[in-house]
């Protein structure tokens, strides 16, 4: 049996006529820059995420970049973030001339640890208040502890940019004005940054991204920055760039958005099935650490997107050998991420390399992502767990 890490073909096969119709419609319109397809998707995504506005952008990376540019983040500024995420989270901080400041992650969620954020903010206040923004990442499709992070951000009056690239539609309980509601990624901070890279839960047929926000003035700056800061045309009060979402991508994404919740649900079903199979195989007790859905509704009335499982990541002993074993048996898997950001060579020989962030480093040494895409067949899930069981049985 062959179980790829991700197979986009079943989705394409099911939606092919609608996707081709959408692409043809844009081509025939001869309107190839922004326009109605983009603004319509902006409204739909904003509504889906529970934010006031959406701004269509060229990628998730550019959404982060434009957010930082729009806050006028630059040399001398620090941006507080997690060391355990995709490179773009740090790359954009460095590209605007600021420096990342890392604190460790929580072991249960792989997301930034609010206790350490509190400490870093307190220290920063003593050291001249250089932290310009906080970027929590909703890693693998599960929200960071936004309740605590937003309370801290409010206390210190520092804007939060949610890196929601892996977490469109992910929900967490959020208390506001005495009532607890479920809020979606990208609706709690100043803004949320989304990616439509093909491997995300909502993926285009190329690159694309979006920023969501309910802060009107900030949104106007982002809109200006995505178009060279031109206001009006050919008059530039600020230096932006070309960060526009392509209308072909917008039209295709609008088709797919209709199915997103059913895909999320299928990924959650696969995750539940994995849990059951790992338990039955006797691996869940002390061999394989399964991902924890920290906001899962204990009542069993589990219709919330508490985790959208963009990735299903387990922690395992002998990770690299298991990975090889899975590859030899045609099971796709991947390491997200093998090296923490504070250890990346591009930072040069610096203080970062001496920083110890043990939880993130341990995750980088033992994490492995398994196939979780919606259309997986039950036999495939069974085969994945059986292949893992056989690996540990012979040890
Ligand atoms: C995918 C991703 C990005 C970047 O998105 P692109 O659209 O590929 O530029 C940023 N942050 C995280 C956490 C991601 O997973």
Cα–Cα distances (Å) from 141 to 14, 65, 270, 365, in that order, read: 24, 21, 14, 20
Cα(223) to centroid(ligand 1), Å: 20
Residues facing residue 192 across a β-bridge: 162, 212
Give the largest CA-CA distance in the chain.
69
Pocket lining for ligand 1, CB < 6 angstroms: 59-61, 85-86, 88-89, 137, 163, 165-166, 195, 197, 207, 209
Which helix or strand (DSSP H or E) is residue 213 part of? strand 209-213
Are the beta carbons of 226 and 65 closer than 8 angstroms? no
Close Cβ partners of 324 (under 8 Å, ≥ 6 residues apart): none
Rounded CA-CA distance 270/312 in Å is 9
Q: Is the previous residue joined to 187 through a cis bond, with omega within 30 degrees of 0?
A: no
Length of the chain: 395
pLDDT of residue 324: 98
DSSP 133-144: EEE-B-GGG---
Rounded CA-CA distance 276/278 in Å is 6
Identify the residue whose C-alpha is closest to ligand 1 atom 14.
165
φ, ψ dihedrals at 321, nearest 5°? -75, -35
**Residue 265: exposure state from Cβ atoms within 10 A (0-12, 13-18, ≥19):** middle
Identify the residue whose C-alpha is closest to ligand 1 atom 2.
165
pLDDT of residue 302: 67
Rounded CA-CA distance 248/206 in Å is 9
Are the beta carbons of 195 and 165 closer than 8 angstroms? yes
Rounded CA-CA distance 351/353 in Å is 5
Are the beta carbons of 240 and 92 closer than 8 angstroms? no
Rounded CA-CA distance 258/45 in Å is 11
| Spacing of C-alpha 369 from chain mean position | 15
**pLDDT tens string for the chain (395 positions)?**
999 999 999 999 999 999 999 999 999 999 999 999 999 999 999 999 999 999 999 999 999 999 999 999 999 999 999 999 999 999 999 999 999 999 999 999 999 999 999 999 999 999 999 999 999 999 999 999 999 999 999 999 999 999 999 999 999 999 988 899 999 999 999 999 999 999 999 999 999 999 999 999 999 999 999 999 998 899 999 999 999 999 999 999 999 999 999 999 999 999 999 999 999 999 998 899 999 999 997 665 667 899 999 999 999 999 999 999 999 999 999 999 999 999 999 998 777 878 999 999 999 999 999 999 999 999 999 999 999 999 999 87
Atom of ligand 1 nearest to the CA of 137: 13
Cα(200) to centroid(ligand 1), Å: 9
Atom of ligand 1 nearest to the CA of 64: 10
Residues facing residue 193 across a β-bridge: 163, 211
Atom of ligand 1 nearest to the CA of 195: 7
Number of C-beta neighbours around residue 74 at 10 A: 12
Atom of ligand 1 nearest to the CA of 139: 13
Ligand 1 pocket test, pick from 68, 84, 86, 87 with the greatest ligand atom count within 8 Å of Cβ, gives 86
Identify the residue whose C-alpha is closest to ligand 1 atom 6.
60
pLDDT of residue 178: 87
Atom of ligand 1 nearest to the CA of 62: 9
Cα(176) to centroid(ligand 1), Å: 29
């Amino acid at each position: 049996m062959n179980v790829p890490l991700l197979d986009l073909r079943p989705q394409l096969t099911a939606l092919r006529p609608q996707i081709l119709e959408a692409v043809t419609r844009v081509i025939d319109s001869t309107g190839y820059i922004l326009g109605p397809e983009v603004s319509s998707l902006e409204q739909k995504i904003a509504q889906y995420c529970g934010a006031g506005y959406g701004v269509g952008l060229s990628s998730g990376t550019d959404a982060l970049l434009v957010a930082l540019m729009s806050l006028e983040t630059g040399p001398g500024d620090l941006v507080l973030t997690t060391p355990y995420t995709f490179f773009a989270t740090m790359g954009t901080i460095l590209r605007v001339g600021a420096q990342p400041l890392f604190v460790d992650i929580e072991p249960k969620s792989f997301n930034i640890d609010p206790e350490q954020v509190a400490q870093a903010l307190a220290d920063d206040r003593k050291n001249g208040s250089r932290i310009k923004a906080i970027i929590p990442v909703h890693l693998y499709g599960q929200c960071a502890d936004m309740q605590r992070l937003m309370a801290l951000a409010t206390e210190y009056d520092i804007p939060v940019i949610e890196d929601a690239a892996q977490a469109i539609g992910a929900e967490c309980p959020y208390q506001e004005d005495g009532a607890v509601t479920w809020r979606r990624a990208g609706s709690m901070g100043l803004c949320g940054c989304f990616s439509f890279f093909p491997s995300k839960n909502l993926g285009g047929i190329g690159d694309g991204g979006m920023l969501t926000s309910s802060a009107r003035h900030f949104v106007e700056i982002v809109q200006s920055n995505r178009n060279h800061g031109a206001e009006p045309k050919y008059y530039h009060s600020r230096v932006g760039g070309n960060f526009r979402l392509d209308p072909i991508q917008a039209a295709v994404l609008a088709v797919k958005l209709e199915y997103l919740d059913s895909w999320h649900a299928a990924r959650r079903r696969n995750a539940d099935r994995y849990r059951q199979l790992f338990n039955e195989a006797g691996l869940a007790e002390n061999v394989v650490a399964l991902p924890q859905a920290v906001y899962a509704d204990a009542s069993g009335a589990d219709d919330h997107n508490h985790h959208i499982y963009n990735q299903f990541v387990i922690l395992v002993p002998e990770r690299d050998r298991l990975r090889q074993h899975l590859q030899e048996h045609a099971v796709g898997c991947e390491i997200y991420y093998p090296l923490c950001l504070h250890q990346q060579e591009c930072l040069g020989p610096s203080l970062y390399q001496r920083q110890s962030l043990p939880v993130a480093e341990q995750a980088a040494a033992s994490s492995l992502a398994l196939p979780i895409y919606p259309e997986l067949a039950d036999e495939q899930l069974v085969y994945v767990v059986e292949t893992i069981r056989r690996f540990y049985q012979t040890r």
